[in-house]
Each structure stands twice: as C-alpha cells, then as structure tokens.
Amino acid sequence: MGLIFRQLFESVSSTYTYILADEETKEAVIIDPVMETAERDAQLVEELGLTLKYAVNTHVHADHVTGTGELKKRIGGCKSVISKAAGAKADMFLNNGDKVEFGKYHLEARSTPGHTNGCMTYVLNDKSRAFTGDALLIRGCGRTDFQQGSPLTLYESVHTQILSLPQDCLLYPAHDYKGRTVTSVGEELKFNPRLTKSKEEFANIMNNLNLNYPKQIDRAVPANMMCGVFETPSVSQ
C-alpha cells in the first residue's frame, strides 16, 4: 500500500494543486488549492475515499484566492495550514522543521523565504518529492518585487533548502506558465537560468524582470491573509 498522488491544474492562474494520501489509512493533505477549483478537488477527495486532514498553503498567494476556506466548508475536520511567518489566519501554523502527518507519511516544512517572508517548501519524508510553491519554479523562481521579496534571501533559501536535496528528488511548483509539470533537483542545478548564476548575477536578473503585477493581487492578498476562512471580496469589474 503506497502513496496516492494527484497533480491538479487551475488554468486562470496556472496554479498546481496537489493531493497526497496514504493508500492504507486514506489520510490526505492538499497543497495550494484554488477557490475556483475547490469543488472539483473536494469531489476527487470524496471519490477516492480520502479523509482530508489538512489544506496547506505554501504562502500567501498574490495571484489567486486560496481554496482552503471553500474546502473547509465542504469537508468536515479539514484544517487550514500555513507558516507562522506568513502572518495569515489559519487553523494550524508551521515553523521550520515542523511535520504535517498523513498516515505513515509526513511532509517536512522547510522555511524558504525570499518570494515572500512566509514561504514554505514541503518535502515528503523519503525526500523523493518536494512542493516548492513559488520559491522555485521550473527553470525559474518566484518574483521578489512585492510581499517582502528579496533576491538574496531567495537565492540562499533555494540553494540551502531545495537544491541541497537528492538530485533525483522531484520538484513540484505552484505554477507553470509553459505547460511543464515537474522538474528535479538535478535538472534545476544544471538548467535553471537564474539559480545557476552567482548571487550577484541572480539579484541583477531578479531586479530587472519588469513583470506586470498579478491581475488578482488586490483581491487575492487580503483574502489569503484570512486563509480563505471568511467571505472573500468579489472580483472587481
């Protein structure tokens, strides 16, 4: 009896949501659910016969509203989880090194600030998979121009907490904008165009990305500070 694993996609914000469960005990966690797809995810949890213990966010997302609150409404006993450093509302708060347990498995929470102060990467207990949120994206990384972002902090986080994992560890990000689904530590050590550079070159790249602000930022950040627990503001016209 092994691990149940599902990767789900929300196409408006290009967000990946992950469900992990112990096939034996059926205890499950969901990582980075999105409000608009919470019903779909709740249905899958039910169809697979899972007991959803935790709805976990990697950070206070700026580009979409978390599905945490919607899942809590639909699934009794499910607790919302985020890092203590995020400063957001939730049922359970994590510090570096804390464990999120489901059946015989657990996720180790590793603090990986730099995209936001409260970013956590979640590493499966056997180090075969890690869920990096926006700290590390496939051939990229999270932007550092808002939400307490810092290129030097992000560089340090990614190198010490993610790229130090075994080379065959699979890395699952919160987003991909080019249809990619997964990478590995070995691949990113070789091919990441930002993180293979020196710290100084990395900072220079990050300070000159010139990206537009996420379209949903004004609605998403306040709602996510409440971890989706309360009514969320409606979309501005």
Ligand X SMILES: N[C@@H](CCC(=O)N[C@@H](CSS)C(=O)NCC(=O)O)C(=O)O
Nearer to Fe ion, 22 or 176 (CB): 176
DSSP letter, residue 212:
P
Does 62 participate in binding ligand X (rule CB under 6 A)?
yes
**Alpha carbon distance 123, 110 (integer Å):** 7
Minimum distance, C-beta of residue 135 to Fe ion, in the bound complex (Å): 9
Stretch that binds ligand X, among 30-38, 49-57, 162-170, 207-215 (CB under 6 A): 207-215
- List the one residue out of 101, 62, 56, 63 whose CA is nearest residue 82: 56
Least CB distance to ligand X at residue 76 (A)? 31
DSSP assigned state of 16 = E
CB 154 within 8 A of CB 135: yes
* Site for ligand X, residues 153 to 182, rule: CB under 6 A: 175
DSSP state of 162: I
Contacting ligand X within 103-132 (CB under 6 A)? none
Contact 191, 167 (CB under 8 A): no
Binding site for Fe ion (CB under 5 A): 134
Q: In degrees to the nearest 10, what's the CA dihedral of 192, 194, 198, 204?
A: 170
Tell me how far, at minimum, the Cβ of 143 lies from ligand X, in Å: 4
Segment contacting ligand X by CB under 6 A, of 2-10, 70-78, 140-148, 223-231:
140-148
Query: Residue holding tokens 């249905």?
Result: 43
Is 50 or 135 the residue whose CB approaches ligand X more closely?
135
| Residue 32 touches which of Fe ion, ligand X, none (Cβ within 5-8 Å per kind) | none
Interface residue list for ligand X (CB under 6 A): 13, 62-63, 134, 140, 142-143, 175, 211, 214-216
